[in-house]
Amino acid sequence: MTLLKMDELKKLHQKKYRRQFGCFLAEGEHLIQELQKATYANPALLASELYLTEKNQDWPSVLAKHVVSDRLMKQLSDTTSPQGIVACVPMAAVLGAGSCVSTDAAAGERGVYLHEIQDPGNLGTILRTLAWFGGFRCLLSPGSVDPFNNKVVRASMGAIFHVALETDVPAAALTQRYRAIACLDMEGESLQSAAFHQAECLAFGSEAGGLPASLLQQPGSKTFSIPGSGSIDSLNLASTVNMSVYELRREMAS
């Protein structure tokens, strides 16, 4: 990765510059620890560059380190109380994690497709769930929130470095890759049905728009729902993904 100038680094808070330079920022001790852990499974992440204030210059790191002033660190930081440690990470290394540059799934891997998800906190939480259970690939549709958004990266608690990730995946491509797609909807069979546990990909729509009719009507697609008895009419998207992934993993482990 080409070392960016400080003025270029400061621009990475904006999506257009992240795309232009092919990098994003990860801030704080926990995120950097998770980044360094992920380098063992994904050596491409070793191209990341670490920026530290003088008081943190002895931070043990396998990454190239650069000491910067407190003033410059505040400009790189996206938090009110900077911890004095930020990494510049190549996006290609994250999109390459778990062989996700290729559409060939690892043995036993399942897909989780998110259609036009907009909330960065929801996406970060979903990535944490997928990293916890393992064996899932996250596919984002066009029009979804940028996974390299600072809020997504922070909410993921470092899970973004451990989950196979693809962006700009059209819904039409799913049926070419997966024979059985479980579409989570307000109406459909229970998650406990045998058909749900045969799904190779779980598809979720945004809370505002749901899934496109074209996907729901595909021969390999089947709708499923999470039965409830409460007084509200919907679940948070991240909660829906959490329960669906848990149910799939529970059955696989039994």
Among residues 35, 56, 60, 59, the alpha carbon closest in space to that of 47 is found at 35
What's the rounded Cα separation, in Å, for the pair 197 and 95? Answer: 27
Cα 67 from Cα 52, distance rounded (Å): 5
In a domain, 53, yes or no: yes
Please tell me whether residues 148 and 174 are part of one structural domain.
yes
The predicted pLDDT at position 140 comes to: 97
Q: Which of 37, 124, 45, 131 is nearest to 88 (CA)?
A: 45
Q: Count of CB atoms within 10 A of residue 202's CB?
A: 25
Domain end point (choices 95, 111, 142): 95
| Same domain? 121 vs 222 | yes
In DSSP terms, 157 is beta-bridged to: none
Q: Which of 46, 76, 95 is the last residue of a domain?
A: 95
Strand order in the sheet with 85-90: 23-27, 85-90, 49-52, 64-67
Q: Rounded to an integer, what distance in angstroms lies between the CA atom of residue 223 and that of residue 225?
A: 7
Q: Is residue 109 part of a domain?
A: yes
- CA geometry: angle at 195 spanning 193 and 201, to 5°? 120
The CATH number linked to 11 is: 3.30.1330.30
- Residue 63: name the closest of 41, 84, 33 by CA: 33
CA atoms within 13 A on the CB side of 110: 22
Of 85, 76, 89, 82, whose CA–CA distance to 13 is shortest?
76
Tell me the three state secondary structure of residue 226.
coil
The verdict on residue 245 lying in a domain is yes
Please state, in angstroms and rounded to a whole number, the distance separating the CA atoms of residues 159 and 152. Answer: 10
Domain that holds residue 139: 98-253
Nearest 5°: phi and psi at 239? -65, -40
Same structural domain for residues 220 and 135?
Answer: yes
Residue 110 lies in a domain: yes
Within a domain: 25: yes
Residue 205 lies in a domain: yes
What CA–CA distance (Å, rounded) separates 182 from 198? Answer: 9
Q: Render each residue's pLDDT in the chain as its tens digit; 254 residues.
A: 678 888 999 999 999 999 999 999 999 999 999 999 999 999 999 999 999 999 998 999 999 999 999 999 999 998 888 899 999 999 999 995 543 334 455 667 899 999 999 999 999 999 999 999 999 999 999 999 999 999 999 999 999 999 999 999 999 999 999 999 999 988 888 888 899 999 999 999 987 778 988 888 888 899 999 887 665 667 889 999 999 999 988 866 65
CATH at residue 209: 3.40.1280.10
Residue 99: predicted pLDDT: 38
In-domain check, residue 75: yes
59 and 106 co-located in one domain: no
Q: Are strands 85-90 and 23-27 parallel, antiparallel or unpaired?
A: antiparallel
Count how many domains the chain has: 2
Give yes or no: residues 89 and 102 share one domain. no
In a domain, 1, yes or no: no
